[in-house]
């Protein structure tokens, strides 16, 4: 393995600074409620508008959208909904006998109150709202509270607002950042307290989700976008370069990694990246992202390349290989896999139907991304009768005696006494 280009030291705000800032925001929102939220909205978003988006505002914003934009968003919602429904069909209830008189199983129950965070960021990402809200709607959530920053003419971008409405959000608030996460986790006079919070965001949002976990559930902690393009000598350097920059433009801290078994492909792809960057706006985050965090790695073999991919446990893994599917079974650490050069990550970002809220910072080692299953609980039950009582009570009584748990032994032996009497 050889680095043709290695990431420079990441000069993000220190973890301690972010952690302390978020801690203060959460404490303020908990103690002051709406007033605390508004305090931070004024400070960070320069917004003093009402927190909740009214029906009149929704109607006004939606009516300003063209039919073409609405059609695009409708298609996004339909495709995410279709994929989520197909996934939900795979999560089946269970009811089975595990020996005479021992009936056990589980039920699939939707989480009642969902908090959806939809980042505003640099661009009005039309798919972000549907990606977070639609699976919750399909799962059967009764209330879906959505928060998004008021960074477009004093409110939420009309296209983002329309996407939230079409996806099934029941309450929409123009609140961003850590204060939005705190408001949904603890509730305020205006913002309902929720059971789980889902959705991507910047490092302050991610840290806020980490700190409120336990008070509310969270989907995962998703940081700035990541992509690893894995290519061999058959790859088109132009496509590789375009796929790297498509994710790099999300954020200055986005990570674009190129791994290849071909030295020639490595050099040509770097040249294409530099060429394409000249055509980007000088203000594009892609410049800073590629310069500081972009990496190019030359693997000595296909297997070493696969090992590198598994070690990086990247958010988006895109295979530009001659026989991409042949390597699929050996790849197991990724947020989402894109097989063959034409399966652009952009398709998933926008409209294919799989979710683009995915694990970053190597979290793909232990979790997948946001999906309809994130919004349901698998809860177990059991009913013990007849022979089952005799068998389990006898075992539980003996084990409890060994463990020194008198109450446990007593409870089990009462069942044995009932059978004898």
* pLDDT tens-place string over residues 240-288: 999 999 999 998 999 999 999 999 999 999 999 999 999 999 999 999 9
Residue 234: strand, helix, or coil: coil
At residue 245, the pLDDT reads 98
Percent of the chain with pLDDT over 70: 97
Question: 62 with 158: CB under 8 angstroms?
Answer: yes
- Global pTM value: 0.92
Distance CA 190, CA 319 (A): 46
Q: Using the Cα atoms of residue 83, residue 88, residue 89 and residue 91 in order, give the sign of their dihedral.
A: positive
Distance CA 419, CA 381 (A): 22
At residue 222, the pLDDT reads 85
* pLDDT tens-place string over residues 155-179: 999 999 999 999 999 999 999 999 9
* Mean pLDDT across 40-60: 95
At residue 89, the pLDDT reads 97
Q: Find the helix packing angle between 237-248 and 263-277, rounded to 10°.
A: 50
Q: The CATH number of 224-369 is which of 3.40.50.720, 3.50.50.60, 3.40.50.1980, 3.60.20.10? A: 3.40.50.1980
- The catalytic position among 57, 272, 295, 315 is 315
Question: 370 with 336: CB under 8 angstroms?
Answer: no
Distance CA 360, CA 315 (A): 5
Architecture of the structural domain at 15-92+105-218: 3-Layer(aba) Sandwich (3.40)
* pLDDT tens-place string over residues 298-343: 999 999 999 999 999 999 999 999 999 999 999 999 999 999 999 9
Distance CA 192, CA 147 (A): 11
Q: Do domains 15-92+105-218 and 224-369 have the same CATH topology?
A: yes
| E runs forming strands in 45-120 | 94-97, 102-110, 113-117
Buried b (16+ CB within 10 A) or exposed e, 192-202: eebbbbbbbbb
- The catalytic position among 157, 250, 316, 320 is 316
For the cut 70, the answer to whether the pLDDT of residue 404 exceeds it is yes
A 10 A CB-CB count for 88 gives: 20
* pLDDT tens-place string over residues 184-230: 999 999 999 999 999 998 889 999 999 999 999 999 988 889 999 99
* pLDDT tens-place string over residues 78-131: 999 999 999 999 999 999 999 999 999 999 999 999 999 999 866 678 899 999
At residue 15, the pLDDT reads 75
pLDDT band at 405 (very low <50, low <70, confident <90, very high): very high
* Mean pLDDT across 391-417: 95
Question: 160 with 118: CB under 8 angstroms?
Answer: yes
Residue 344 burial (C-beta neighbours within 10 Å; 0-12, 13-18, 19+):
middle
Q: Using the Cα atoms of residue 171, residue 82, residue 373 and residue 256 in order, give the sign of their dihedral.
A: negative
Distance CA 364, CA 376 (A): 21
Answer yes or no: 275 catalytic. no
* Mean pLDDT across 61-88: 96
Question: 196 with 111: CB under 8 angstroms?
Answer: yes
Give first-to-last CA distance, the chain, whole Å: 74
Token pair for residue 313? 């446990």
Token pair for residue 354? 């799989």
Dihedral (Cα; 382, 385, 387, 390), 10-degree rounding: 80
Alpha-carbon separation of residue 3 from 308, 332, 405, 409 (angstroms): 12, 23, 59, 63
Question: 73 with 126: CB under 8 angstroms?
Answer: yes
pLDDT band at 420 (very low <50, low <70, confident <90, very high): low
Rounded to 5 degrees, φ, ψ at 269 are -70, -40
For the cut 60, the answer to whether the pLDDT of residue 11 exceeds it is no
Answer yes or no: 39 catalytic. no
Residues across the chain: 421
Distance CA 290, CA 277 (A): 9
- Name the one residue in this structure whose structure tokens are 């913002």: 191
Per DSSP, 41 falls in state I
Question: 262 with 271: CB under 8 angstroms?
Answer: no
At residue 393, the pLDDT reads 96
Distance CA 398, CA 35 (A): 58
Question: 132 with 370: CB under 8 angstroms?
Answer: yes
A 10 A CB-CB count for 258 gives: 28
| Average pLDDT score over the chain | 95
At residue 9, the pLDDT reads 66
Percent of the chain with pLDDT over 90: 90
CA–chain centroid gap for 375, Å, is 12
Q: Delimit the domains of the chain by residue range.
A: 15-92+105-218, 224-369, 386-420
For the cut 70, the answer to whether the pLDDT of residue 10 exceeds it is no
Question: 136 with 162: CB under 8 angstroms?
Answer: no
- Name the one residue in this structure whose structure tokens are 């600074």: 17
Token pair for residue 245? 């920059």
Distance CA 10, CA 377 (A): 38
Distance CA 350, CA 72 (A): 10
């Amino acid at each position: 393995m050889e680095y043709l280009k290695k990431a420079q030291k990441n000069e993000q705000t220190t973890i301690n600074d972010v952690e302390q800032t978020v801690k203060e925001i959460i404490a303020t929102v908990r103690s002051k409620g709406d007033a605390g939220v508004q305090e931070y909205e004024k400070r960070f978003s320069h917004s003093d508008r009402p927190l909740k988006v009214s029906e009149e505002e929704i109607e006004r914003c939606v009516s300003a959208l063209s039919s073409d934009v609405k059609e695009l968003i409708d298609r996004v919602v339909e495709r995410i909904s279709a994929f989520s429904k197909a996934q939900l069909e795979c999560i089946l209830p269970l009811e089975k006998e595990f020996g005479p008189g021992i009936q056990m199983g589980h039920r699939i129950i939707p989480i009642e109150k969902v908090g959806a965070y939809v980042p505003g960021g640099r661009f009005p990402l039309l798919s972000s709202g549907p990606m977070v809200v639609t699976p919750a709607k399909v799962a059967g959530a009764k209330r879906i509270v959505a928060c998004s920053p008021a960074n477009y003419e004093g409110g939420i971008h009309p296209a983002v607002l329309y996407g939230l409405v079409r996806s099934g959000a029941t309450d929409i608030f123009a609140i961003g950042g850590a204060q939005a996460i705190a408001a949904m986790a603890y509730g305020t006079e205006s913002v309902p307290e929720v059971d789980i919070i889902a959705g991507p965001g910047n490092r302050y949002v991610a840290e806020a989700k980490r700190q409120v976990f336990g008070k509310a559930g969270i989907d995962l902690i998703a940081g700035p976008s990541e992509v690893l393009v894995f290519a061999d000598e058959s790859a088109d350097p132009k496509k590789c370069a375009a796929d790297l920059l498509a994710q790099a433009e999300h954020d200055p801290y986005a990570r674009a990694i190129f791994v290849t078994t071909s030295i020639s492909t490595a050099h040509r792809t770097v040249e294409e990246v530099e060429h394409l960057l000249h055509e980007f706006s000088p203000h594009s985050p892609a410049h800073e992202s590629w310069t500081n965090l972009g990496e190019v790695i030359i693997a000595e073999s296909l297997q070493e390349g696969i090992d590198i991919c598994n070690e990086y446990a990247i958010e988006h893994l895109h295979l530009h290989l001659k026989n991409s599917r042949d390597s699929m079974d050996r790849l197991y650490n990724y947020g989402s896999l894109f097989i063959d050069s034409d399966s652009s990550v952009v398709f998933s970002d926008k409209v294919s139907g799989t979710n683009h809220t995915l694990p970053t910072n190597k979290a793909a080692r232990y979790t997948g991304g946001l999906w309809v299953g994130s919004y349901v609980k698998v809860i177990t039950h059991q009913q013990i009768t007849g022979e089952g009582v005799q068998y389990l009570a006898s075992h539980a009584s003996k084990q409890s005696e060994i463990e020194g748990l008198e109450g446990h032994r007593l409870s089990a032996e009462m069942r044995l006494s009932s059978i004898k009497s």
